[in-house]
Amino acid sequence: MKMRQIIASLCVCACLPLSLAARGKQDIDVPTEGVEYALSAEDVSEPEKKVVLEPKYTLKKPLGRPLPLKESWGYVMAGREDEYKSDIPVTDVCYFGAEIGTYGNLVNVPSRSKLKTGRSRCHLVIACDSRSLTHFILDSSFGLRNQLLKDIVRASAAYDGVQIDFELVPARDRKNFITFLGDLRYMLGEKKWFSVCVPARFKLLSEDIYPYEEISRYCDRVFVMAYDEHWSTSKPGAVANVDWCRRVAEYAKKTIPERKLIMGLPFYGRTWASETTAGAWYFSGANRIMTEHGVENVEYENEIPTFKYTAQVEVTGYFNDIYSVLSIARIYQTLGIQKMGWWRLGMEDPEFWDWVKINR
């Protein structure tokens, strides 16, 4: 009998939710007294609203039609491949890049498979940021040059082209640099694209390390880096202003064949401060700045004197937006230049690409 009662009780319990479910909500009495809840209304806080700062300034909007180009070159930094979008109007991607190591060898060659460029050509950029290293690899008497040339050719196998960006060539290595370019052109073969970066010029300098006309004989493209008119340690000013760019382009057009000339434009900007607060100081200098800024207390931290003060610094900045970049590009357009390049991808206003059209 007890077993039957237990089974009956279980049946009632199992059926109870079904019968309740068939009833309307108004028919169900839900007890509220004596029920403890895990959270009260006071415990539930609204999600923090993200503060979005709105600019108080306005930028000029460009006018006219998109810029028609035959070639559009853009630089991508190794490690920042996500800043490149394959749907932008860029015909040639410069992958920056391989470097010259401590012993004059080629190092840090980026893996071509990390960058998906679609229909765009991809060029391996090789840079050397040391004046002394540049000397050792260019002067064949040190025994490094031939091996480096072979290494570059080997590294270029997965790429459509190679670009040399040696910006610190010593004056006495002028001839060595030119012959290096000639040797590399020969070793790469005619099917591999070969380009060279050169700094901005208004004229041929005395014993010029980067003679535009001579360099252009050995490569398919010459990339004129028409930027850094002002730099981090110069007085404040535009990275590249319109009149300065016009002068550079006029000289480049006279000395570089039209089919080989690429004018480089900057996407970036710079800032300068009226006072530099970081630095190493003489004892007299440290005391002078403390006195000038009214320092009243010097604390000894582990027996070493330390101080703090607040300084008001005026910051001046020059940067590039769509309007400024297009203004320079249209100057080049009026000069008949149809190949341009950008340093570097990821720094630009994404809407800039709405203003570039490739005429293949």
Catalytic residues: 167
Cβ atoms of 75 and 96 within 8 Å: the answer is: yes
Within 10 Å of residue 263's Cβ, how many Cβ atoms?
A: 28
Give the CB-side neighbour count of residue 138, counting CA atoms within 13 A. 25
**Separation between Cα atoms, residue 177 and residue 166, nearest integer Å:** 9
How many C-alpha atoms does 339 have within 13 Å on its Cβ side?
A: 19
The residues, ordered by sequence, that sit 6+ positions from 74 with a Cβ below 8 Å of its Cβ are 84, 88, 90, 92, 93, 94, 341, 342, 344, 345
By C-alpha distance, which of 108, 192, 176, 175 is closest to 139? 176
Taking the C-alpha atoms of residue 337 and residue 243, their distance in angstroms, rounded to an integer, is 16
Tokens representing residue 270 in the block: 């710079």
Contact indicator for 354, 64 with CB cutoff of 8 Å: no
Q: Are 300 and 29 in contact (CB under 8 A)?
A: no
Question: Residue 80 and residue 77: Cα distance in Å, rounded?
Answer: 5
DSSP E strand boundaries for the chain: 67-69, 71-77, 92-100, 106-107, 121-128, 161-166, 193-199, 221-225, 261-266, 270-273, 299-301, 304-306, 315-318, 339-343, 356-358
Residue 286 CA to residue 185 CA, distance in Å, equals: 55
Please report the sign of the dihedral spanned by the C-alpha atoms of residue 284, residue 290, residue 296, residue 299: negative
What DSSP string describes 155-188? HGGGSSEEEEEE----GGGHHHHHHHHHHHHHHH
Q: Report the chain's C-alpha Rg in angstroms.
A: 33
